[in-house]
Amino acid sequence: MIDFTGDPKDFWTATATGDVVIDFWAPWCKPCKILGRTLEVMEEQGTFKALNEFGTASVRVIRVNIDDYPELKEEYNITSIPCLVYKKSTKEVARSLGAKTQAGIMEALTADAKEFGW
């Protein structure tokens, strides 16, 4: 899991290639902390590979602290946290709001991705 700390202008480049799950969070948000621990476990176990159509490519998880990057919060229209945004290359294909179990996260992200035609 990568905590984004760069220039907001560089965020698009950081998320433009491959599959990326973006975790919008804040340090004062208890559900965000719970979700963060769940995401760490999922990443360690390789759970996110199932999002990839072949199950082989890695899916990067990038965390964005909305207090540090309000412009990214606005750009992605984040109105509630925690919020996960799943992108394939440059296209958003799914969102998940709130702290969820591993199964709940995967269900939300794959269901939305199917609606987007992925």
Domain-located, residue 75: yes
Residue at 82: amino acid letter: P
Q: Judge whether 46 lies within some domain.
A: yes
In a domain, 118, yes or no: no
Q: Please report, for the domain that includes residue 82, its CATH number.
A: 3.40.30.10
Largest pairwise CA distance in the chain:
37
Contact (Cβ atoms closer than 8 angstroms) between residue 1 and residue 41: no
pLDDT for the residue numbered 45:
86
In a domain, 57, yes or no: yes
Domain that holds residue 65: 2-97
Cα angle, residue 92 at apex, residues 8 and 60 outer, rounded to 5° = 65
Q: 91 pLDDT exceeds 90?
A: no
The domain tally of the chain equals 1
Taking the C-alpha atoms of residue 48 and residue 55, their distance in angstroms, rounded to an integer, is: 8
Catalytic residues, by residue number, are 29, 32
Q: pLDDT tens across 17-70, in order?
A: 788 899 999 999 999 999 999 999 988 888 877 776 655 567 889 999 999 999
pTM of the model: 0.86
Q: Is the model more confident about 24 or about 108?
A: 24
- Name the band, by pLDDT with cuts 50, 70 and 90, for residue 118: very low
Q: Which two tokens stand for residue 95?
A: 């969102």
Q: Is residue 112 part of a domain?
A: no
Which residues are paired to 117 by β-bridges? none
Residues with Cβ within 8 Å of residue 78, at least 6 apart in sequence: 24, 66, 72
Q: Residue for token digits 């290639």?
A: 17
In a domain, 87, yes or no: yes
In a domain, 19, yes or no: yes
